[in-house]
Structure 1
């Protein structure tokens, strides 16, 4: 197959491989303190229409973000606009760190920057809907004998993500 192990963030997994759950994930909206100081803090999803949103492109249609609130399960869909789009969450995170706009990211991409105060969560009462998969997986080819290095690395990854 050409690989020993992969980390996959997906709701659909290959049936021909072994898939082990690594951790559940959440999607967050984040921005740098500098961006929020300059552009203001959005208080509702509708406010995002007035902000530069850093987004993961999905198809050719104009980008939209969907949210639900835990308070009353209200759902909204917002058309967003932004000057930066890429299919790489680390690039979106880096653009947010540079103060370019508000980013929608999986929590594992934003965790360290949030802890350091380099990013702040935006609209914490609203949960993005169907933006990213709900789980990270360890995926490896099926093998009767799994190499010790793969087993050791799998145990290390699971311990690291259990923190």
Structure 2
């Protein structure tokens, strides 16, 4: 194929790769910021130029043929090298710039990430941030994210991870609730309380605890069944239910911090540590790459400086 023709089709192959990632012409068009018909036209032109069928079309989705996969695989490495070269040139001056695409869980993003973004953007005015707020664990690479916040105990080996901070779970309730129903003195007392919990698929929810002596050394462990009139898979909703005097909630510390600091919530069973309710670390994660853009490394350093001490 003539060099001029190869250069003309370079963008076509990129669009083919995006189509493969997104799975439908509509999703690919949205990702590229063009019309669905424009994507379709580029693919048809590419198939005519190569003389090959590159895409298998169904009523709901598309997938690449073996020839299409081979073409995308061979060209993708070239795109990555070009991207790294551009990034190296941009970063050579040591200035963070460009679009930084992030994804983060709802509670952490709303309560902690968004409030500190202004400081970062003021420090790095040439960086723009696009934040996806979701509790769904999406594929970082296929969705095009530069960085993800993950509340997790394990990170895939295919990803690079920076530990942001440790986190732990705390029992909290409003002062009004405890005045009405009493302050539990030991985990077994929870059976007489309305417990607000994160559903785990069990018909009989239970909370596990470790007893800490004054030196915070574990003395004993136990698991107690709990019951309650409200359960939800969102820690902000659990916190709000506790603030509304509904019962005793088990929360990750980053969701409880503001309420405890203001006095709207108080700790319950402070000498007992919850075990296994929520992950114990928050990480910043990105797919493995030989090059880390300056904007990413700057943002990682900034967040680690802000959150290294944890929350409570």
For this structure pair, what is the TM-score category when the shorter chain's length is used for normalisation? over 0.9
Matching of residue 64 in structure 1 with residue 206 in structure 2 = yes
Q: By percentage of residues, which structure has more strand?
A: 1
How far 1:146 sits from its partner (Å)? 2.5
**In 2, Cα distance between equivalents of 1:139 and 1:150:** 10
- Residues 17-63 of structure 1: CA deviation (Å, up to 9, x unaligned): 11110111121101111111122111111111111111111123310
Aligned counterparts, 1:2-13, within 5 A: 2=143, 3-13=145-155
**In 2, Cα distance between equivalents of 1:85 and 1:146:** 40
Q: Which has the higher contact order (CA 8 A, sep 6+)?
A: 1
Aligned-residue Cα RMSD (Å) equals: 1.5
Q: Secondary structure at the match of 2:219?
A: coil
Q: Secondary structure at the match of 1:46?
A: helix
Q: By percentage of residues, which structure has more helix?
A: 2
Matching of residue 91 in structure 1 with residue 233 in structure 2 = no
In structure 2, the partner of 1:137 is 283
Given the alignment, which residue of 149, 160, 163 partners 2:306?
160
In structure 2, the partner of 1:37 is 179
Q: Secondary structure at the match of 1:73?
A: strand
Deviates more, 1:28-37 or 1:64-73: 64-73
**Unaligned ranges ≥5, structure 2:** 1-140
How far 1:147 sits from its partner (Å)? 2.9
- Residues 64-101 of structure 1: CA deviation (Å, up to 9, x unaligned): 00111013622221110111111221221121112111
**Unaligned ranges ≥5, structure 1:** none
Give the TM-score normalised by structure 2. 0.50
Given the alignment, which residue of 211, 215, 226 partners 1:80?
226
Given the alignment, which residue of 253, 265, 278 partners 1:107?
253
Q: Secondary structure at the match of 1:150?
A: helix
